[in-house]
Amino acid sequence: MTWVIQTLRWGLMAIVLSLSACSETPGSAGFAGLAEQVEEETFAQPAPGDRLRFPEDFGPHPRHRIEWWYLTANLTTEQGEPLGLQWTQFRQAMVARDPAGPAPEPDSWPLDAGWMAHAAVSFQGQHWFAEKLARGDIGQAGATADPFEVWHDNWHLQVEGEGEGDGHWRLQVDGEGWSYDLRLTVNGEPVAHGEHGFSAKTASGEGSMYFSLVDLVIEGEVTLGGETFGVSGQGWFDREWSSQFLKAGQQGWDWFALHLESGDKLMMFRLREAGGDFLSGTWVTPEREVFPLGPDGIRLEKIEQRDTADGSVPVQWRIQVPGRQADLNVVAPQGHYWNDGLFPYWESPVSVTGSHQGEGYMELTGY
Amino acid sequence: MTVFSALLSHYRRHPLQLLALALMIVLATMLWTGVSHLTDRARASLAQSEQAIAGQQQLVREDGQAVSVQDFADLRRQGLCVMPWLEVQRPSPEGRVIGVDPFASACFGNEAPGQAGVDALNGEPFLDIAEAAEMVRQGSEGDLSLLVPVDVEADAVPSDYRLKDFSMGPATGELGESFLLNLDALGVLVLLITALLVRSVYQLGLVQRRESFTLLRRFGVPAARVQGLLLTEMVGLTCVCVIPGIWLGRWLAEMLGAGFGQVLENLFDAPLYAVDGGGFAMPAMIMVAVVLLACFADQRVLMRLPGVTGSVPAWWFGIPVLGLGLAMVAWPFTLGWLFVGIALVFVAVGLLTPRLLSYVAQWGAEGAGAITLWQRRELAVLFRRLALPVVALQFAVAMVLAIQALVTTFEDTFERWLAQRLEAEFYVEVPVQAAAEDGVRYLESLSGLGDWHLVQRGATQVRQETRRDRAGSSVAADVFSISPIGPLVMGWTLLDAVPDAWDKLAAGQGVMVNEQLARRQGYRPADPIGFTLGEQFLELPVVGVYADYGRPEGEILVVGQILPETFTARFQSLSLNPGALPIAEIELGLAAVWNNDNLTIRDNASIRSLASGVFDQTFLITRAITVLTLVLAGTSLLIMGWVFFTTRAWYYRLLFVWGLSRREVAGQLRWLAMFLTGAVAVAALPLGVWLTWVLVSRVNPLAFGWSLPMAVYPGFWLEMLALCLMIGLAIALLMRRQLGGGVPAPAMANVTGGGER
């Protein structure tokens, strides 16, 4: 779940594309002037009454402007060392399209949508990152719901062995001098965030459709600088789509997805705004009971900052969920975890102590 | 008063001299920095332009079908870095545009062809590939290529595809390398000239400070200490002066380079002109070293205390040095040997010229009238006393003459080189599996088609039975077959030929060989040459030797009709002028007979204008450099001449005592100054012609195995002479003003450099 930074990143890229295509100067209205680039009303807007549908919602949503598929994993090597990794694929539409209607002809090299993929590995204080870009509708990058597959060049996440790999996915990624090849076992049903999947992002009600698979068992191999490590551990998978970009005044985003040793799972985010932060989250019990957390149900406190060449970021947090008697101390390991792509942001594994022990992932933007 | 301040007090009494020395260091630094900056940039720009037009590769389908967006997606999904390149030809004035996908080119990094970033997608000529595809949909002709980075190896390519060169133009290859080598030589010459100029000004100053040095010695200051202080003084002055010099040189290079960069961008659709500013430290250190070397190379400078400016010790030493240098250049073993020989000749000329001119000035003066005798003797003195600036101007003029001839020859050669390779308007590659004969039959069936021929290239073994080698062994060479022999080739430059050479070639009664093969094996027209074609051995006379402008391999040109069945063509292509037919129709016809939609067709006319434009601009820079050098050398002589004449002003005033009128004295001075500078230009002429000959006939064959034609340009010689005379005239005019005011007589006869008479 990387809603805010992704919209920012994609928004800026959309401007670049629009500039190159029509050489017009964007206006200043809306966040980064994006409202001037694409007419909002042509895209479908998520609303509180919307419902999730499976398996369709694993696939793309051409009527919506932005969406992403996102996986984070807290793994351990055979030598017992922690290793974190992430993979994200984004779709950014310039033109809304009816899913039942005809897709643009690939021969026209259409620019109705663009795709971006990110992947990173964090190990022993080091961070490897790669980024890919593609235009949509030509086959270079895309996604299908059934059979489930998301690909970008030779990176792909797909159901393994069509028809017989029920519940097993395979994720293959390679960067420069590093790669990973993972098998993922999906346990449990998708967890709908917010109100049946509608996750509010502002106090005034704008939001996105958002669900997660919070219990992935992962094993496979990670190769770093010619050395291959057998790895295993747990992962978290997000699907989110929307049509609204951030509003002016929203400065950045702090997002956490935590696996607690008690079997509980916690997702929470905070949008930092000049007029007051917006917090939201979801608590999932070991029995898969889902408790949406509103702004009053969570407290987030910054404990410690870390200075890096790319900026100072908070690396230690206190998260309190009074309704679940949770008082968590969340800390990033030593190292710098900037994803140094078109628009840099911080993304690192974290360890959890306090009322609960655990691990997870943290994404920080706007620092 | 300290010793140092006593030394420096000279400049307080003669501030103009300090100014002249500082100005010379600043100007010399500016010139050298500007030249080295420009040559570096010209080198980088040429390298980049070559990369832009010839350094890419593409993937094509093994089955000969045209690549599509599906191929692109498949290749990307297999992990290959591929980017689409959709070239769309539109009628004038819109012209060509190139559609690229900035997303796909990201994996090329900074090596993306044409640097096609999103910020450059403005249709000049790059635009987003969707827009280019729309133009194709609306009827424009489009050609899609899939480019891969140059480091992709053949074994990394999926089996359904193969790598192929992707070229927007011909590689300039060794022609460009040769030109760059000469640019480097030019840079070294400029450094030498600047060193001479600085030394001459410094020597002038030393002479004028001679009395101060003598006084210091009388006060017991050791010579070594004075020497050390002089060194300190020059280090300080140089350090102060090189910084503005470097800055001015950069500025100069920017001024000259901006236009060059603009043209390159227009030609290659990319910011090709190298804009790296470089650091200040290296040029500053080099310049300080050169200045100190020029001024203090002779450690005994104080002991010897040259009597006058730039005296030429041991001038006779120049004679054996000249002989040795000329011999080394005449029989050069290696390039290094040759450069040493050239350096020796320059040293010798520098030693001999002032003395020679001095003798010539006095030659036959005995028995002449008093005024004439005075004129000749005074001129002889001037040549000796102004030795260093005279030699510097001589070198500069010689260099300008050589560079002008070289650049003009290069331009001419390059035009011919382009003409030879790109004579036809279009070039069509015969696909690997296709039969060239089918294409030939198709072209023969067309009416209204312009000139055309089929080119087939293959290998041969040439039996070595020439004047040089009768051993009978064989040497590998290329076969270059053309049929029919027509106007497209008959305009080639033949270095040597028998009468009706082209007719004999067309009739199969002889072959032509390229310059390289002729040089290596000693072939001349009418010599028999034995060679293999497939399994057949032929012996035919050589009917001509054609210029090949840098092709490293030996080559035999034959008419296609004599190729036997067993000859295997390594490469085949058609060169054609479409005449009254549209090229698109010819392309369609050839695609049909060869059953291949993916024909490689090159528009030679646009490539030719593109390549010519780049070289034109490079030549322009070179000319600018030479003019700058000349301006500096001329300015130097002007300053030196003026200063020196000024030191002799009291002496020239004696002419009034002799009864000459003011006008007559001015006339005498005009004669002296113009004769001085004119003689320098004349003395520079043989050196310039010799240098031109060395560059085209010695450096090039040694470095690259082929020669440039030697050409001289007397019109340009006259321009140089006129320029030198103008410098002389300017000196005379300045002196006339000088003599207009009062000039004090010297306290002692030898107080100035003008003491000799």
A151 in reach of chain B (CB within 8 A): yes
Token couple for A139? 């086959």
Instruction: Point out the residue among B101, B107, B122 whose CB comes nearest to the CB of A23.
Output: B122
As given in the structure block, the two tokens for residue B406 are 């070289």
Say yes or no to pLDDT of A275 above 60: yes
Q: Helix, strand, coil shares of chain A as percentages rounded to 5?
A: 10, 55, 35
Place of tokens 């500053």: B284
Assess whether pLDDT exceeds 90 at residue B551: no
Write down the pLDDT at residue B372. Answer: 83
Neighbours of B473 (CB within 10 A): 10
Distance (Å, whole) CA A222 – CA A271:
33
| pLDDT tens figures, B506-531 | 999 999 998 878 877 888 899 999 99
Q: Does the structure show a pLDDT above 90 at A356?
A: yes
List pLDDT tens digits, range B354-391: 888 888 888 877 777 778 888 888 888 888 877 777 78
Question: Taking a C-beta distance cutoff of 8 angstroms, is the pair B51, B173 a contact?
Answer: no
Query: Is the Cβ pair A139, B77 closer than 8 Å?
Result: yes
Could you tell me if A135 lies within 8 Å of chain B, comparing CB atoms?
yes
Q: What is the predicted pLDDT for the residue at B107?
A: 84
pLDDT at B511: 95
Tell whether the model's pLDDT for residue B10 goes beyond 60: yes
Tell me what the pLDDT averaged over chain A comes to: 86
Produce one character per residue of B180-217: b if its CB has 16 or more CB atoms within 10 Å, e if not. Answer: bbbbebbbebbbbbbbbbbbbbbbbbbbbbbeebeebe
Task: Please give the full DSSP string across A144-173, using - where no structure is assigned.
Answer: ETTTTEEEETTEEEEESSTTT-TTEEEEEE
Under an 8 A CB cutoff, do B121 and A132 touch?
no
% of chain B with per-residue pLDDT over 70: 74
Average pLDDT over residues A223-229: 95
**Taking CB atoms and an 8 Å cutoff, what residues of chain A touch B131?**
21
Most trustworthy range by pLDDT among A121-135, A193-207, B627-641: A121-135
Contacts of A135 in chain B (CB under 8 A): 101, 103-104, 130
| pLDDT given at position A210 | 96
The band of A5, judged by pLDDT with boundaries at 50, 70 and 90, is very low
Q: Is A210 in contact with A197 (CB distance < 8 Å)?
A: yes
Mutate to test the interface with B, among A13, A109, A111 (most CBs of B within 10 A): A109
Question: What residues 31-90 of chain B have any CB closer than 8 A to a CB of chain A?
Answer: 68-70, 72-74, 76-79, 84, 86
A316/A301 Cα distance (integer angstroms): 9
Residues A140, B130: C-beta atoms closer than 8 Å:
no
Residues B599-605, mean pLDDT to the nearest whole number: 77
The residue among B127 and A208 whose pLDDT is bigger is A208
Residue B305: pLDDT band (50, 70, 90) is very low
**CB pair distance less than 8 Å for B129 and A140:** no
Angstroms from B153 CA to nearest CA on chain A: 17
pLDDT category, A38, cuts 50, 70, 90? very low
Reported as a pLDDT band with limits 50, 70 and 90, residue B133 is: very high
For B530, the enclosing helix (H) or strand (E) is strand B528-533
Which residue in chain B has the smallest CA separation from A104? B130
Q: Which residue, A197, A352, A181, A155, is CA-closest to A266?
A: A352
Q: How many other C-beta atoms lie within 10 A of the C-beta of residue B701? A: 15
Cβ A133–B131 below 8 Å, yes or no? no
The lowest-confidence range among A133-147, B76-90, B654-668 is B654-668
Residue with tokens 């094996």: B521
Instruction: Return the closest-CA partner of residue A135 out of B128, B147, B125, B149.
Output: B128
Put simply, the answer to whether A21 touches B72 (Cβ < 8 Å) is no
Report DSSP letters for A183-243, one per residue.
EEEEESPPEEPTBTTEEE-STTS-EEEEEEEEEEEEEEEEEETTEEEEEEEEEEEEEEEES
Q: Please check whether residue A133 touches B, CB under 8 A.
A: yes
pLDDT tens, position by position, B426-472: 888 888 778 888 999 999 999 888 899 999 988 898 886 545 445 55
Structure tokens at B408: 């003009």
Q: Is the pLDDT of residue A11 over 60?
A: no
Distance from CA of B91 to the nearest CA of A (A): 21
Residues of B with CB below 8 A from A133's CB? 102-104, 106
Query: B149 at the A interface (CB within 8 A)?
Result: no
pLDDT band at B309 (very low <50, low <70, confident <90, very high): very low
Answer yes or no: do A20 and B119 touch at CB < 8 A.
yes
Instruction: Tell which of B83, B85, B103 to mutate to test the A interface (max A CBs under 10 Å).
Output: B103
Nearest CA in chain B to A117: B103
Q: With a cut of 60, say whether residue A138 has pLDDT above it.
A: yes
pLDDT the model gives residue B94 = 67
Contact A21 B131 (CB under 8 A): yes
Q: What is the CA radius of gyration of chain A?
A: 19
B128·A21 Cβ contact <8 A: yes
**Cβ within 8 Å of residue B224, ≥6 positions away:** none
The residue that leads in pLDDT, B205 or B467, is B205
pLDDT at B312 exceeding the cut of 70: no
- Domain map of chain B by residue range? 3-51+173-418+610-755, 57-166, 422-606
Listed ranges A7-11, A36-40, B190-194; the one with the highest mean pLDDT: B190-194
Lowest mean pLDDT among B137-146, B380-389, B523-532, B698-707: B698-707
Q: Is the pLDDT of residue A165 over 50?
A: no
Model confidence at A142: pLDDT above 60: yes
Q: Is residue B750 pLDDT above 50, yes or no?
A: no
Looking at residue A7, its pLDDT comes to: 45
Instruction: Among B75-84, B175-184, B669-678, name the one with the lowest average pLDDT.
Output: B175-184
What is the CB neighbour count within 10 angstroms for residue B497?
Answer: 19
Mean pLDDT of B608-625: 64
Q: Mean pLDDT throughout A161-171?
A: 71
Nearest-5° angle of CA B379, CA B384, CA B385? 95
Nearest CA in chain B to A107: B69
* Nearest residue of B to residue A151, measured between CA atoms: B77
User: Does B77 contact A140 at a Cβ distance shorter than 8 Å?
Assistant: yes
User: Which of B70, B121, B131 shows the shortest C-beta gap to A106?
Assistant: B70
How many angstroms separate the Cα of A121 from the Cα of each of A116, A225, B10? 17, 12, 72
Q: Tell me the shortest Cα–Cα distance from A127 to chain B, in angstroms.
A: 20
pLDDT score at B542 = 94
- pLDDT tens digits along B617-635: 566 666 666 676 677 667 7
Determine contact: B129 vs chain A, CB below 8 A: yes
Judge contact between B273 and B617, C-beta under 8 A: no
Q: Which residues of B touch A21 (CB under 8 A)?
A: 121, 128, 130-131
Structure tokens at B740: 């207009």
In sequence order, what are the residues at sequence separation of 6 or more whose Cβ sits closer than 8 angstroms to the Cβ of residue B748?
A: none
Tell me if A114 and B134 make a contact (CB, 8 A cut-off). Answer: no
Q: Which residue has the tokens 């072959």?
A: B511
* pLDDT score for B177: 60
pLDDT for the residue B525: 92
Q: How confident is the model at residue B660 (pLDDT cuts 50, 70, 90)?
A: confident
CB contact under 8 A, B106 and A140: no
Q: How far, in Å, CA of B590 to CA of B581, rounded?
A: 13
Our CA-based measurement puts residue B76 at a distance from the nearest CA of chain A, in whole angstroms, of 5
* Phi, psi at B737, each rounded to 5°: -65, -40
Span of A15-19, B208-212, B319-323, B657-661 with lowest mean pLDDT = A15-19
Nearest beta carbon to residue B77 from set A107, A109, A154: A154
pLDDT value of residue B252: 75
Residues whose CB is less than 8 angstroms from the CB of residue A232 and which lie 6 or more positions away in sequence, other chains included: A75, A76, A217, A218, A219, A220
Are B271 and B115 in contact by the 8 Å Cβ rule? The answer is: yes
| Nearest by CB: A108 against B78, B119, B134 | B134
Cis peptide before B271 (omega within 30 of 0): no
Give chain A positions within 8 Å (CB) of B133: 107-109
- Average pLDDT score, chain B: 77
Band the pLDDT of A246: cuts 50, 70, 90: low
Taking 70 as the threshold, does the pLDDT of residue B756 lie above it? no
- Measured between beta carbons, the chain B residues lying within 8 angstroms of A154 are 76-79
d(CA B335, CA B339): 6
What is the set of domains in chain A, with CATH numbers?
3-365 (2.40.370.10)
Phi first, then psi, for residue B468 (nearest 5°) are -85, -35
pLDDT class of A123 with cuts at 50, 70, 90: very high
Instruction: Summarize pLDDT for B562-571 with one digit per residue, the tens.
Output: 999 888 888 8
Residues 189-248 of B with CB under 8 A from A: none
CA nearest to B119 within chain A: A20
Task: Look at residue B607 in the predicted model and tell me its pLDDT.
Answer: 66
A174 chain-B contacts, CB cut-off 8 A: 79
| Greater model confidence, B575 or B20 | B575
Task: Answer whether B118 touches A (CB < 8 Å).
Answer: yes
Interface contact B137, partner A, CB < 8 A:
yes
Q: Taking CB atoms and an 8 Å limit, are A108 and B70 in contact across chains?
A: no
Give B269's pLDDT tier (boundaries 50, 70, 90): very low
The pLDDT score that the predictor gives to residue B284 is: 80
User: How many residues does the structure list for chain A?
Assistant: 367
Higher pLDDT, B253 or A158: A158
What tokens does A113 get? Answer: 């949508």
- For A200, counting Cβ atoms within 10 Å of its Cβ (0-12 exposed, 13-18 middle, 19+ buried), the class is buried
What is the dihedral sign for C-alpha B512, B518, B521, B523? Answer: positive
Distance CA A81, CA A227 (A): 14
Instruction: State how far the Cα of A234 lies from the Cα of A227, in Å rounded to an integer.
Output: 22
Whole-angstrom distance, CA of residue B640 vs CA of residue B675: 16
Higher pLDDT, B326 or B747: B326
A20-34, B31-45, B217-231, B464-478 — most confident range: B217-231
CB pairs under 8 A between A and B: 75
Nearest to B544 by CA among B486, B501, B504, B482: B501
| Range in B51-55, B530-534, B731-735 with the lowest mean pLDDT | B51-55
% pLDDT > 90, chain B: 13
Residues of B in contact with A16 (CB under 8 A): 118-119
Q: Give the integer Cα–Cα distance in Å for B200 and B639.
A: 11
